[in-house]
Structure 1
Amino acid sequence: MWRACCLFCAWSLLLLTQVCAQSERRPIFTCGGNITGESGVIGSQGYPGVYPPNTKCVWRITVPEEKVVVLSFRTIDLENDNLCRYDYVDVYGGHVSAQRLGRFCGTFKPGSLVSTGNKMLLQMVSDANTAGSGFLAVFSAAHPHERGDQYCGGRLVKPNGTFKTPNWPEKDYPAGVTCSWHIVAPKNQIIEVKFEKFDVERDNYCRYDHVSIFNGAEINDARRIGKYCGDSPPAPVFSEGNQVLIQFLSDLSLTADGFIGHYKFRPKKFSITTTPPPTTTHPVTTRPIPWIRQNYRLKCVCVCVCSALKYSVALCQQKCKRRGTLHSNYCSSNFVITGTVITAMMKGGSMYATVSIINVYKEGNLAIQQAGKTMSTKIIILCKKCPFIRRGLNYIFMGQVDEEGRGKIAPQHFVMAFKTKNQKGLNVLKNKQC
């Protein structure tokens, strides 16, 4: 009996020692810091717990000289927003005045990010509202191009040159890569960018694999000339100044042939004649019109904002009542779906919902995401309690679509609880001419 008791005590002590050792090895993630070495792990403050609100954390990574930093996100869970305006992680290719390699939020994991030198900077910002578990990322030092064609990008300063996706033209570009080409011309010149061959995973909104071209040296949506995907080469692009940034990003799923493009320095007075971009491109025009004066632009912004606010207030003061019939709403709506509300979040005076789709009766320009057999979409209820929806319940949604492909529901649009018996009526509407 005494021997059995001793054996049990010894076994318990060993187990306790192992547990303590494991808990000591688990890293404790703090808000920012300076990190040096060949490799390491970075996590948001308190990971895997919920990251705190209203914080700004900066991590500065330094690897040995003559090497580059390769960063890979293992997990990412931040408040989701199409433009990453609320909670986000910025990654820069250096510590001071460096090119931004990307801004990330939600749960989408980008491909490996590679610096051009031996330094990289991460900055995470959170606002006062929704939070998640944050992020976990690993970094390592690598010799530039040590993995053959997996790495791409760089600084281009010759008067003309070529850029292409990894593996071109032998095989498809790999999944999960980010390439950034920074082209710099002399001060008195501009840059012409032209694609010879182009084949990048197609999507109506270029949300997955895409090429973006920016005026200047960093990724800035306000300075974006265009965002491109599909299999038609974009029209030639001309910069406003002497610098252009071209970024290619592939996600972790489908890939395609890729592209080869060329650039050329041009004098500032060079005559720019371009053809309209194909339907697979989504350019953002940022070129200022010379005759528009600053005060006129400010006045215009003020009028637009005030008008939008007045419209919003007037809209939400209406009685919360559907207008018209099921048939008339079906015909006048951009989209008609049935689905389950899986997330619902208040922002300002509106509710932002994610809907897991049961059936699509009218798609229009609605952006639909698919993972395996599960399809989902984003919907904005313009007036947060009109119509009122609850998470976990099934609804019929009929409404309009905004320029980003999200469904918009106003008080007069048709929304009602969905039951199996409604399916027959919706199928009749689908097959009936408006």
Structure 2
Amino acid sequence: MFEGDKAGNPRFCSNQPVFTCGGILTGESGFIGSEGFPGVYPPNSKCTWKITVPEGKVVVLNFRFIDLESDNLCRYDFVDVYNGHANGQRIGRFCGTFRPGALVSSGNKMMVQMISDANTAGNGFMAMFSAAEPNERGDQYCGGRLERPAGSFKTPNWPDRDYPAGVTCVWHIIAPKNQLIELKFEKFDVERDNYCRYDYVAVFNGGEVNDAKRIGKYCGDSPPAPIVSERNELLIQFLSDLSLTADGFIGHYKFRPKKLPTTTAAPITTTFPVTMGLKPTVALCQQKCRRSGTLESNYCSSNFVLAGTVITTVTRGGSLHATVSIINIYKEGSLAIQQAGKNMSAKVIVVCKQCPLLRRGLNYIIMGQVGEDGRGKIMPNSFIMMFKTKNQKLLNALKNKQC
């Protein structure tokens, strides 16, 4: 049905089925694809496929091909995969040409939804679904729903050999309403990269992959610090790309009662709420340009923390729009990171152009909040300082700190 030529381009056999926008699919196995696949998918569309396999089995979804408009946050054209048919937990969101590994539902129902905006690019996707026994998924599958008071989770093949390439695992841990979840990684070895772009573990508060609720993104061979959920749900996502692999990990979780009241200090930045349409007001920009606190005290209350070189600055109205070439990122949050070759950069807006002052060509440690557009917002009281090599040790220590 689907083949590839020697150059890796898609080639299709004559018995290719006709793919329409969405549908209801039942049975042991089948195929779904974007409307008109392998032709270019239409703009401004929302297509939903509801898959049901026999009772007592789980759905395994394998993407054979994917080519959607690429964006590092998948904001424009994307495919969402959910557990269940309605109000289900989102297993993952995909775009570009990266083909995720096998996705497994926790029950016999799965929903796939594709959304495209006004500008399209690419041939869409094709995937195959099949039914599997929940307790006989084999080494290539992983993930699932964890509701016991304590338990563990691990990468496929652990501890006998490296995890496989091209795998996506999602564990959804659910505690009773009045309890929290404590998470600890015992062993940890995931392909190292400064920005964890290739293989990584991401942990989220709540029940879906949502960058705004991401606690952290981890790779390398140092286990993340212990994590405690905000409420009664955590989602753990593990993803490996199609190249290097490593030993993997084993983690343990347990439920524990909420401790009230909490002693967490309110973020300093709440004085100036960040919104997409934020315009500098005279009152805001007349305040003294003076940062408060220390690197340590501002780390947890900031959405993002990075060290970088200011490479462009443009004044627009009363604000300064800057592009920062990233030296190191310590806390990414939902900040949009652009990549050109090996160079990574981010866009930030200094809401009051003179406060704090950013000069082109200089290196800074920048902490701030993130707007809905993925750009960093720097307020008059945001913590910014000149970056020196001696700061790196403290910043690396803060990176492993549990806020």
> Is TM-score (shorter-chain normalized) higher than 0.5?
yes
Paired residues of 1:368 and 1:376 also in contact (CA < 8 A): no
Q: How does 1:16-415 map to 2 (within 5 A)?
A: 25-269=15-259, 290=266, 300-302=273-275, 305-307=278-280, 364-365=327-328
Q: How far apart, in 1, do the equivalents of 2:252 and 2:16 lie?
A: 48
In the other structure, the counterpart of 2:303 is: none
Provide structure 2 residue ranges, at least 5 long, that are not aligned to the other structure: 1-12, 282-307, 312-320, 330-336, 349-360, 376-403
Closer/same/farther in 2, CA of residues 178 and 270 from structure 1, 3 Å limit: farther
Q: How far apart, in 2, do the equivalents of 1:227 and 1:378 lie?
A: 17
* CA drift at 1:305: 3.0
Q: Which deviations, in whole Å up to 9, do the C-alpha atoms of 1:1-22 show, x marking residues without a partner?
A: xxxxxxxxxxxxxxxxxxxxx8
Q: Which amino acid counterpart does residue 225 of structure 1 have in structure 2?
A: I
Q: Which amino acid counterpart does residue 188 of structure 2 have in structure 1?
A: F
* CA drift at 1:147: 4.3
Closer/same/farther in 2, CA of residues 289 and 380 from structure 1, 3 Å limit: closer
Three-state SS of the structure 2 residue aligned to 1:300 is coil
Q: Which deviations, in whole Å up to 9, do the C-alpha atoms of 1:324-377 show, x marking residues without a partner?
A: xxxxxxxx9678xxxxxxxxxxxxxx9x9xxxxxxxxx994598989xxxx565
Q: How far apart, in 1, do the equivalents of 2:208 and 2:66 lie?
A: 23
Paired residues of 1:201 and 1:210 also in contact (CA < 8 A): yes
Three-state SS of the structure 2 residue aligned to 1:222 is helix
Q: How far apart, in 1, do the equivalents of 2:275 and 2:130 lie?
A: 48
* CA drift at 1:62: 1.1
Q: How far apart, in 1, do the equivalents of 2:54 and 2:224 lie?
A: 40
Q: Which amino acid counterpart does residue 301 of structure 1 have in structure 2?
A: V
Closer/same/farther in 2, CA of residues 259 and 43 from structure 1, 3 Å limit: same
Closer/same/farther in 2, CA of residues 291 and 228 from structure 1, 3 Å limit: closer
Provide structure 1 residue ranges, at least 5 long, that are not aligned to the other structure: 1-21, 274-287, 309-331, 336-349, 353-361, 383-397, 409-434
Q: Which amino acid counterpart does residue 199 of structure 1 have in structure 2?
A: D
Q: Which deviations, in whole Å up to 9, do the C-alpha atoms of 1:135-168 show, x marking residues without a partner?
A: 1111111222434332222222222221111111
Q: Which amino acid counterpart does residue 248 of structure 2 have in structure 1?
A: G
Q: How far apart, in 2, do the equivalents of 1:363 and 1:121 lie?
A: 38
Closer/same/farther in 2, CA of residues 378 and 229 from structure 1, 3 Å limit: closer
Q: Which amino acid counterpart does residue 207 of structure 2 have in structure 1?
A: A
Q: Which deviations, in whole Å up to 9, do the C-alpha atoms of 1:170-227 show, x marking residues without a partner?
A: 1111112222222122222111101111101111111111111111112211111111
* CA drift at 1:267: 1.7
Q: Which deviations, in whole Å up to 9, do the C-alpha atoms of 1:17-75 show, x marking residues without a partner?
A: xxxxx85x331111101111211111111111111111100011111122111111111
Paired residues of 2:339 and 2:345 also in contact (CA < 8 A): no
Q: Which amino acid counterpart does residue 258 of structure 2 have in structure 1?
A: K
Paired residues of 1:52 and 1:131 also in contact (CA < 8 A): no
* CA drift at 1:289: 5.8
Closer/same/farther in 2, CA of residues 191 and 50 from structure 1, 3 Å limit: same
Three-state SS of the structure 1 residue aligned to 2:274 is helix
Paired residues of 2:103 and 2:141 also in contact (CA < 8 A): no
Q: How far apart, in 1, do the equivalents of 2:20 and 2:50 lie?
A: 13
* RMSD, matched Cα: 3.6
Q: Which amino acid counterpart does residue 102 of structure 1 have in structure 2?
A: G
Paired residues of 1:145 and 1:151 also in contact (CA < 8 A): no
* CA drift at 1:134: 0.8
Q: Which amino acid counterpart does residue 238 of structure 1 have in structure 2?
A: V
Q: How far apart, in 1, do the equivalents of 2:65 and 2:279 lie?
A: 41
In the other structure, the counterpart of 2:396 is: none
Q: How far apart, in 1, do the equivalents of 2:86 and 2:233 lie?
A: 18
Q: Which amino acid counterpart does residue 231 of structure 2 have in structure 1?
A: G
Q: How far apart, in 1, do the equivalents of 2:239 and 2:248 lie?
A: 11
Paired residues of 1:238 and 1:272 also in contact (CA < 8 A): no
- Give percent identity, aligned residues only: 66
* CA drift at 1:119: 1.1
Query: Structure 1 or 2: larger helix share?
Result: 1
In the other structure, the counterpart of 2:305 is: none
In the other structure, the counterpart of 1:431 is: none
Q: How far apart, in 2, do the equivalents of 1:160 and 1:181 lie?
A: 14
* CA drift at 1:270: 7.6
* CA drift at 1:131: 2.1
Paired residues of 2:146 and 2:172 also in contact (CA < 8 A): yes
Query: Structure 1 or 2: larger strand share?
Result: 2
Q: TM-score, normalised by structure 1?
A: 0.61
Q: Which deviations, in whole Å up to 9, do the C-alpha atoms of 1:98-148 show, x marking residues without a partner?
A: 111100011111111111111111100011123211111111112224343
Q: TM-score, normalised by structure 2?
A: 0.66
